[in-house]
Amino acid sequence: MSEYTKIIPIANQILKKHDLCDNCLGRLFSKKLHLSSNKLLGKKLHKKRNLTKKCYICKNLFENLNHFLKIMIDVSSDYSFQTFSVGAIIKPSIVDRDDCIRSQFKLRGIDSIKTDITKELAKAFSKKTKHTVDNRNPEFTFTLNFKDESCQIHSKSITLSGRYIKSMRGMSQKQKSCENCSGKGCRFCNFHGITEFDSVEGMISQLIFEKMGGAVAKFTWIGGEDKPSLVLGNGRPFFVKLQNPHKRKLRLTSKNFNSLKINNLKIVSDSPKKPLKFTSSIKMRISTESVIEIKNLKKLKDLTNSPVVVYDVSGKRSEKIISSVKYKKTTQNEFSLFLKADGGLPIKRFVNGDNVSPGVSSIIDNSCKCLEFDFLDIYV
C-alpha cells in the first residue's frame, strides 16, 4: 500500500467533520508524501468536492494572499535589496483550530499554518520581483499582520568606512543629538537622530542619507580632535552603521565640501569589534610662562625612551608610546612641537602635565599651555 493510499481514509475522516481549503488539507499530509505543493495535494484529496463553507482552519485566508502580496510590493518599492524573508502575525484562533485538528487526528511533523502562509507569500513575491528568499540572513524582512492587514518592514543595517580631512578650524567632530529623542530617531528629526548637519558627523550623515536613504547613522571614530583642530594628510578613519538603508550600493567614493573632504567611502562588512590601534602625527603650538631655553627643549627628545603614562578620570592607567619628537622655537615664549604618538594621547593634558607623566611642562621646567594642535596624519 502506497503512502498516498494510507492517508486517504484520514483525509476523508477530517473532511467529514470539517470543511478545509486545498492549502490547509494538503499541508496536513504533504511532508509525509515529500510533496512541495500543499494546494495541489489538497485538490487531489478533495476529489472534486466543492468547498461550500469557509475553511475551518484559515477562514479562506489563502484566497486573500494576493492582497497581501500587493501590500508587500507597495511598501518595498523604495528599497533596493536582493534577499528577503517573510514573517507573519495571525489570529490565535487560527492557530488553535490548526492545533486542534493535528491533535485530534494525531498528525505529527507538519508545518504550522503560519509557516505555510509565509512560504506561499515568499514564493509569490520572489516570482513577481526576482528577489531571493533567505531566512537566515536576509537584507530585507517583511512582517505581515493578518489581524489589521498591516506590514512592517526592516532593511538590514549596512556599515561604511572612510576618511575625512578637515581643513578649516571651528568645526566639531560630533553632532548634537536631537533634543526630542536623544538621538534614537523620531518624527521631529525625520528618524535621523540629529536635526542639524554642521559638524563632521552631520555632513557625512547628510551625504549618506542623500545617497542611500536610511534612518540613524551610528559612528565609530578612530580618535578625535578639538573643534579648532585641523585633520590633514590622508585624514581620520571612521566607520558608520546606517540603519534601515533604502539602497545597498554606493557609487560615490569621495566628496569635497568647502571645509571637509571625505575620501575612500565604501561599504564594509562591519565596524571593528575592538578599538583599533593607531598612531598620529601631531603638531602642537605651545606657549610658555618663562622664556624658552633651547637646552631644555632638547630634553623633549627623551620622550622616545620610555612610555608616557596617562591616568583617566576613573584612575585607570594606560601607556602611550612616542616614537618621534621634533621641535622649533618660534618666539621667546612659544614653540612648535611635532610628535608621532600612539592614538589616544590627551594632548592638552600632556602639555600641562595633568595626570600625564612625564608632561611637557615638567620636562622643560616651564609652565606650558597648548594653544592649538593639528593632526598631520593618522596611521592605522
Q: Where are the alpha helices (DSSP H) in 130-213?
A: 200-212
C-alpha dihedral sign at 240, 241, 245, 247: positive
* CA pair distance 262, 317, nearest whole angstrom: 34
CA distances from 112 to 72, 116, 118, 188 (A): 22, 6, 10, 41
Q: Is 315 left (phi over 0), alpha (psi -120 to 50) or beta?
A: left
- Residues 157/217, Cβ–Cβ less than 8 Å: no
CA distance 333 to 291: 5
User: Cβ-count burial of 317 within 10 angstroms (0-12 exposed, 13-18 middle, 19+ buried)?
Assistant: exposed
Q: Which three cell numbers stand for residue 215?
A: 534612518
Give every CB contact of residue 312 below 8 A, 6+ residues apart in sequence.
Answer: 318, 355
CB 209 within 8 A of CB 185: no
Given 226, 312, 365, 374, which residue is catalytic? 226
- For residues 263 and 232, the answer to whether their CB atoms sit within 8 Å is no
Cell numbers representing residue 373 in the block = 594642535
Q: How far is CA 328 from the centre of its chain?
A: 45
Does residue 358 have a cis bond before it (omega within 30 degrees)?
yes
Residue 207 phi/psi, 5-degree rounding, is -60, -45
What strand order describes the sheet that includes 132-133? 132-133, 83-89, 140-145, 150-155
- 354 catalytic per annotation: no
Partners of 327 in beta bridges: 337
Which among 130, 121, 31 is positioned nearest to 85, based on CA atoms?
Answer: 121
Distance in angstroms (rounded) separating the CA atoms of residues 166 and 95: 59
CA distance 266 to 253: 6
User: Which residues are designated catalytic?
Assistant: 226
